Structure 1
Amino acid sequence: MVVTDRPEISLYLRTFSDQPNQDWNAALQAARAMDAAGVDRVVVSDHVVFGENLGAYSDPAVGGTPGGKQPTGPDGDWLEPLIFLTAVAATTSRIRLGTGVLLAALRRPAVLAKQVATIDVLSGGRVDLGVGIGWQREEYEAAGLPFRRRGRLLDHTLEVCQALWTQQRASYSAPELAFDGIHQMPKPVQPGGVPIWVSGTVNPAVARRLNRFGQRWIPWGPAITDLKGAIPAMQQAIADVGGDPSELRVQASAALVKGADRSIDVRATVAAVPQILADGGPTIHDIRFSGTLPSDPDRAAEVLAELVSAFRAVTG
Structure 2
Amino acid sequence: MGLTSFSADDPGGWDRLFEHARLFDRTGVDRLVVSDHVAFGENLDAYGRPEIGGVKGGRQPTGPDGLWLEPLTVLTAVSSVTSRIRLGTNILQAALRRPAVLAKTASTLDVLSRGRLDLGVGVGWQREEYEAAGLPFEGRGRLLDQTLEVLQTLWRERTASYDGDGLRFANIHQMPKPLQSGGVPIWVSGTVNRNVARRLARFGSGWIPWGPAAADPRAGIAAM
TM range (shorter): over 0.9
**Match of 2:200?**
210
**What is the distance in 2 between the residues matched to 1:97 and 1:131?**
14
2:189 corresponds to which of 199, 203, 208: 199
Aligned-partner residue type, residue 182 of structure 2: G
2:33 corresponds to which of 34, 40, 43: 43
**Match of 1:68?**
58
| Helix, strand or coil at the partner of 1:161 | helix
Distance 1:61 1:108, change over 3 A: same
Cα offset for 1:28?
1.1
CA offsets per residue over residues 30-57 of structure 1, 9 Å max, x none?
1011111111111000000000000000
| Helix, strand or coil at the partner of 1:117 | helix
1:118 corresponds to which of 108, 119, 136: 108
2:147 corresponds to which of 139, 157, 167: 157
Cα offset for 1:233?
1.3
Cα offset for 1:94?
0.7
- TM normalised by structure 2 equals 0.98
Q: What are the residue-to-residue correspondences of 1:232-271 with 2, within 5 Å?
A: 232-234=222-224
Residue 190 of structure 2 contacts residue 210 of structure 2 at CA under 8 Å; is this kept in 1?
yes
Where does structure 2 lack aligned partners over 5 or more consecutive residues? none
Comparing 173-182 and 186-195, the one that deviates more: 173-182
1:174 corresponds to which of 159, 164, 173: 164
| Helix, strand or coil at the partner of 2:138 | helix
Q: What are the residue-to-residue correspondences of 1:22-61 with 2, within 5 Å?
A: 22-61=12-51
Q: Could you tell me the percent identity over the aligned residues?
A: 66
Larger helix percent: 1
Cα offset for 1:215?
4.6
**What is the distance in 2 between the residues matched to 1:22 and 1:156?**
39
**Match of 1:91?**
81
Two-structure CA RMSD over aligned residues (Å): 0.8
**Match of 2:124?**
134
Give every structure 1 segment of 4 or more consecutive aligned residues whose post-TM-superposition deviation is greater than 6 Å. none
**What is the distance in 2 between the residues matched to 1:22 and 1:45?**
20
2:220 corresponds to which of 212, 230, 236: 230
**What is the distance in 2 between the residues matched to 1:45 and 1:29?**
18
| Helix, strand or coil at the partner of 1:218 | strand
**What is the distance in 1 between the residues matched to 2:155 and 2:209?**
26
**What is the distance in 2 between the residues matched to 1:159 and 1:135?**
22
Residue 56 of structure 1 contacts residue 136 of structure 1 at CA under 8 Å; is this kept in 2?
yes
1:145 and 2:135 aligned: yes
| Helix, strand or coil at the partner of 1:119 | helix
CA offsets per residue over residues 110-144 of structure 1, 9 Å max, x none?
00000000000001000000000000000000000
**What is the distance in 1 between the residues matched to 2:219 and 2:180?**
33
Aligned-partner residue type, residue 139 of structure 2: R
Cα offset for 1:220?
0.3
Aligned-partner residue type, residue 127 of structure 1: L
- TM normalised by structure 1 equals 0.70
Residue 156 of structure 1 contacts residue 176 of structure 1 at CA under 8 Å; is this kept in 2?
no
Where does structure 1 lack aligned partners over 5 or more consecutive residues? 1-10, 235-316
Residue 45 of structure 1 contacts residue 100 of structure 1 at CA under 8 Å; is this kept in 2?
yes
